[in-house]
A and B are shown apart, each in its own frame.
Chain A
Amino acid sequence: MAKASWPQGVSRHILDEVDSTNAHALRLAPTSGGPAWFLAKSQTAGRGRRARAWASPVGNFHASLLTFPQGPPQQIALRSFAIALALRDAFVALTDLPDSFRLKWPNDVLLTGQKVAGILLESTGAGGRITHLAIGVGVNLVAAPDPTFLEPGAVPAVSVLHATGKLFSPEDFLDALAPAFSAWEGVLVEQGFGPLRDAWLSHAARLGENITARTGKEIYQGQFETIDLQGNLMLRTPHETLAIPAADVFF
């Protein structure tokens, strides 16, 4: 695959250290002239969903894209799938191992069944509209967190280096990821969620199998049927089929 070029109109910033690239991007949002990627060589307070700590050693990839998306919040949240697909594209372009990468709902990337990347999107807005969105991406390029660092039951973690023997710099990874995301975001904006949904489902982990989804207060077990046109996890339980917009998924 020819190396894609850096997306037009998006600035590229490489930082030695920040607290969290998402926090950094959101702080700069009011004064940023346009979309921007921020790559930090290390994070002192990297975080995941629900403020879980995200280990951020030097050599791993920690970056956030600051964007100014248009449209209703529910549509903007579908960028979760655009970034997951872009991540997979970047992995495949660099490693040439298309069969090794799967997607776990909504946007984790698994390498040989183990978590190699995590994504956290954070938006702020006003008057019922989103004004800006930070898309944070963490990739275990060289090191994965120790199992004791993970929540019990969580998918085990792995690094690209350990699983494939290949070493990539965070800058090289960013140069693969940024154009891939812009391409998927363009598809989302121009054609809607359909093509992203199809692509996502074709790479989904555990589709049709039994999984566990833990929402804020409930735990559901059932068959992972599909994702719907809003991106919801469709889980068939013995009693009903649930459309779940937010959950942690366990296998």
Chain B
Amino acid sequence: MSKNTTDADVAFISALAELLNKNGLTELSVKRDYGQDDSLDVRVVKQAPVVTVQAAAPVQQVYAPAAAPQAAAAPAPAAPEDPTQHPGCLTSPMVGTCYLSAEPGSVPFVALGSAVTEGQTVLIIEAMKTMNHIPAHKAGVIKRILVTDGHPVEFGAPLMIIE
């Protein structure tokens, strides 16, 4: 490439590293398209011990929404909002692929409107062939499902809203 984007790229990566630190994140990936066949892929990873994920971090500026809310039954929110700010939001403790049922084609663990007890498995997140059964963090009713079966989720991504 004749175009000199090195300085701009370095500044961009520094900004990402700062964002990572400021938000207490451990990993951040961004793809920037400059034009046809010209793009920059950046992955910034911090090897520090991961802090607890119980309190949802404000990650909406770096993670794309995991998926559109499932099904028309989910009432459209009145205003743009960040699901992770919702007190009933269950967030992902890890990067992986999420599954809403125990096996392909079987009945999902929960559905919109299901009542759940605290600790009940509501979905599975797989990484490294480890199937992590993700429990409901509180008892209540599944108000929103923010992920799609078989799709990737990021650390801290909103999974479901339980109220």
Chain B associates with chain A: yes
The complex places the Cα of A246 from the Cα of B96 at a distance, in Å, of 6
Is A122 within 8 A of B128, CB to CB?
no
> Nearest chain B CB to A75's CB is how many angstroms away?
8
A215 touches B150 (CB 8 A): yes
Task: Evaluate contact between A245 and B151: CB separation under 8 angstroms.
Answer: no
Interface check B119, CB cutoff 8 A: yes
The stretch from A89-97, A124-132, A164-172 touching chain B is A124-132
CB pair A72 B135 closer than 8 Å: no
Stretch at the interface among A6-14, A77-85, A152-160: A77-85
Given A50-B104, A246-B97, A129:B130 Cβ within 8 A: no
Q: How far is the CA of A72 from the CA of B150 in the complex (A)?
A: 22
- Contact residues in B for A120 (Cβ distance below 8 Å): 129, 131
Q: A128-B53, A241-B41 are in contact. Are A72 and B94 (CB under 8 A)?
A: yes
Beta-carbon contact of A74 and B41 below 8 Å: no
Query: In the assembly, what is the distance between CA of A107 and CA of B130, in Å?
Result: 10
Residues of B near A231 (CB, < 8 A) are 127-128
Say yes or no for A51: interface residue by CB 8 A criterion.
yes
Q: Which of B41, B149, B155 contacts A240 (CB 8 A)?
A: B41
B93 touching A73 by the CB < 8 A rule?
Answer: yes
Contact with B along A217-251 (1 / 0, CB 8 A): 10000000000011100000000110101110000
A-side contacts of B152, CB under 8 Å: 215-216, 245
Bound state CA distance, A243 and B49, in angstroms? 20
Is the beta-carbon distance between B128 and A73 smaller than 8 angstroms?
no
Do A240 and B132 touch across chains, with their CB atoms under 8 A apart? no
Question: Does B126 reach chain A (CB closer than 8 Å)?
Answer: yes
Q: Which range holds the interface residue count of chain A? A: 35 or more
Does A18 sit at the interface, judged by CB under 8 A?
no
List chain A residues, Cβ under 8 A from B103: 50-52
Contact A123 B133 (CB under 8 A): yes
When the two chains form their complex, are residues A128 and B130 in contact, meaning their CB atoms are under 8 A apart?
Answer: no
B2 within 8 A of A: no
Contact check, A229 vs B137: say whether CB atoms are below 8 A apart.
no
Question: B31 at the A/B interface (Cβ < 8 Å)?
Answer: yes
Contact partners of A247 in chain B: CB under 8 A: 97
Q: A50–B94 contact, CB under 8 A?
A: no
In whole Å, how far is B121's beta carbon from the nearest beta carbon of chain A? 7
| A216 pairs with B99, CB closer than 8 A | yes
Cα distance A129–B91 in the bound complex, in angstroms: 12
Contacts of B27 in A (CB 8 A): 230
Nearest Cβ on chain B to A118's Cβ, whole angstroms:
9
- Of A76, A124, A241, the contact of B121 (CB 8 Å cutoff): A124
Closest Cβ of chain A to B161, distance in Å, is 16
Could you say which of B106, B132, B137, B149 contacts A123, with CB atoms under 8 Å apart? Answer: B132
Of B94, B126, B127, B132, most buried by chain A (CB within 10 Å of CB) is B127
Residues of A within 8 A of B (CB): 49-52, 71-81, 106-107, 119-130, 133, 215-217, 229-231, 240-241, 243, 245-247
Across the A-B interface, the 5 shortest Cβ-Cβ residue pairs: A216-B150, A51-B103, A72-B50, A80-B128, A121-B130
Q: Footprint of A on B, CB under 8 Å?
A: 27, 29, 31, 41, 43, 45, 47, 49-50, 52-54, 91, 93-99, 102-104, 106, 119, 121, 125-135, 137, 149-152, 155
User: Can you list 28 residue pairs at the A/B interface with Cβ under 8 Å?
Assistant: A49-B129, A49-B131, A51-B102, A72-B49, A72-B50, A72-B94, A73-B127, A121-B128, A121-B129, A121-B131, A123-B132, A123-B133, A125-B132, A125-B134, A128-B52, A129-B93, A130-B132, A133-B130, A215-B152, A216-B151, A217-B150, A231-B127, A231-B128, A243-B29, A245-B96, A245-B128, A246-B127, A246-B129
